[in-house]
Amino acid sequence: MNQQITPESTGVEKKLRILSGIQPSGTPTLGNYIGAMRNWKLLADEYDCLYMIADLHSITVRQDPSKLRQQSIQLFALLLAIGLDPEKNVLFFQSHVPQHTQLSWVLNCFTYMGEMSRMTQFKDKSAKHSDNINCGLFTYPVLMASDILLYQANLVPVGADQTQHLEICRDIATRFNGIYGNVFTVPEGYYPKFGARVMSLQDPARKMSKSDPDDCFISMLDSADNIRRKIKRAVTDSDAEIRFDPENKPGVSNLLAIQSALTGDSLDSVVSSYEGKGYGVLKSTLTDVIINTLSPIQNEFNRYMNDRAYLENVWRNGADHASYLANKTLSKVMKKVGFIAK
Ligand code: AQP
C-alpha cells in the first residue's frame, strides 16, 4: 500500500489515472491548497488526471443553496487559477455526471452496515453536526468509492484522514470483482511529496477546515488585510522561543510548517532564519509569504470569474469527457449485476 506507484514502475506505456476532488463547502483554505490543490498541478504531465468539485458530497452537511452555487463556481475558477490546464486535466462537477449516484446505489448493496459504522470521519462529523446525522453522511464512503471506481482510477491522493475511506473502496472493489470478475481497478493511495497537514489558526490541535469559523483559517480568496489580521491573531504560546515542536508548541510549529510548505525551504532553515527573533517577526514574514503566494492566484481567479462563458465551456466539456469514461464502467456493472440493457 505504501509503495509509490509510477507509470515507469508498472512498465506500462499508458499513463496511470488519478482521481481527486474537493468539496465546495466553503472557500478553499490554505490547508486545501497546501495539502491537495497545488500538488494536482504537478501531476498533469505524468498522469491522466480527473479533478472534480465534489458537490454531491458537500450536501451531507446542510448547505445554503445560493452560497453553494457561488462557492462551486468560485472553486471551479480556482482550479483554473492555480494553473490546472483543462486540455490536460478533466475538470468537472460531480453532480453533472449522474453515473456517480447510479453506481453508488449499486455499491451500497455490496457494502455492510458494520463497515460504515467503523468510519472515524462519520463519527467525527456526526458529533460536529449532531442535529443532522443523515444517511448520506453514513454512506459517504460508498459515494467516494463510486467516484474512484467509475473512472478505473489507479491512484488516489490521500491525506491521513482519507486512508480509511480508500481502504473501504478497495474492499468494495475486491468484493465486487470476486463475484463478477475483473470489473474495477483496485486503486492505490498516492502520497504527495509535499503533503503537509495545516492546522487551525485558533485551535492548532485540529486541522484547518473551510467550514470552521472564519478566524480559524486563511481562505485562498482572503484579502491581504484579512490575512495579516488572521495571522496576527493566530494562537501561539507564552514562551517566546521559535522552534519546531508540534507537541509542545503546536501553534508556532504550524506557522513554521506553513512557511516551509509555501517557500519550499526546509523546516530547519526556516527555524534558523528566526534565531534571536520573536513571534512578531515570524508572523509578519509569514504574512508576506502567504500574500505573495495567493495574490497571483487571486488575480487569475478574478480573470476567470469575469469570463463566465469560458468557465461554462470548460465545465461542460469536462462533464462530457467524464460521462463518457463513467458510462463505460457503469454499463459493465449494470450488465454484470443482471439489469436489462435499454
Ligand atoms: N488542513 C488541511 N491540511 C492539508 N490538507 C487538507 N485538506 C483539507 N484540509 C486540509 C485536503 O484537501 C482536499 C479536499 O478536501 P475536501 O474539501 O474534499 O474535504 P475536507 O478534507 O473535509 O476539507 P475541509 O476543508 O476540512 O472541508 P470541510 O470543512 O467541509 O469538512 C483533501 O485531499 C484533504 O485531505
- Which pLDDT tens digit goes with each residue over 278-327? 999 999 999 999 999 999 999 999 999 999 999 999 999 999 999 999 99
Under DSSP, is residue 207 helix (H, G, I), strand (E, B) or coil? strand
Query: Are residues 141 and 57 in contact, defined by beta-carbon separation less than 8 angstroms?
Result: no
Write the CB contacts of 51 (distance below 8 Å, at least 6 apart in sequence): 19, 20, 21, 22, 40, 79, 84, 89, 90, 91, 92
The domains found in the chain, sorted by start residue, are 7-195+308-337 (3.40.50.620), 214-302 (1.10.240.10)
Active site residue 207: yes
pLDDT score of 305? 98
- CA of residue 10 relative to chain centroid, distance: 26
Q: What DSSP string describes 120-187?
A: HHHHHHHHHTTT---HHHHHHHHHHHHHHHHTT-SEEE--GGGHHHHHHHHHHHHHHHHHHSS-S---
CA nearest ligand 1 atom 26, residue = 209
The CB density around residue 232, as the number of other CB atoms within 10 Å, is 12
CA-nearest of 159, 116, 178 to 141 is: 116
In angstroms, rounded to a whole number, what is the distance separating the alpha carbons of residues 209 and 198? 9
- Confirm or reject: Cβ of 102 under 6 Å from ligand 1: no
pLDDT score of 165? 92
pTM of the model: 0.92
| pLDDT(196) > 90 | no
- Which pLDDT tens digit goes with each residue over 129-144? 889 999 999 999 999 9
- Confirm or reject: Cβ of 32 under 6 Å from ligand 1: yes
- Confirm or reject: Cβ of 219 under 6 Å from ligand 1: no
Ligand 1: nearest atom to the Cα of 212: 29
Active site residue 210: yes
Largest interatomic CA distance in the chain: 74
**DSSP run (H or E) holding 62:** none
| pLDDT(213) > 60 | yes
Q: Return the sign of the alpha-carbon dihedral for residues 173, 12, 90, 220.
A: positive
Ligand 1: residue of 19, 23, 51, 126 to mutate (most ligand atoms within 8 A of CB) is 23
48-53 and 17-22: which strand pairing?
parallel
Active site residue 14: no
3-class DSSP string for 79-95: HHHCCCCCCCEEEEEHH
As a whole number of Å, the end-to-end CA separation of the chain is: 39
**Rounded-to-5 percentages of helix, strand, coil across the chain:** 55, 10, 35
- Confirm or reject: Cβ of 197 under 6 Å from ligand 1: yes
- Which pLDDT tens digit goes with each residue over 30-89? 999 998 999 999 898 899 999 999 999 999 999 999 999 999 999 999 999 999 999 999
C-alpha cell at 218: 486563511
- Confirm or reject: Cβ of 23 under 6 Å from ligand 1: yes
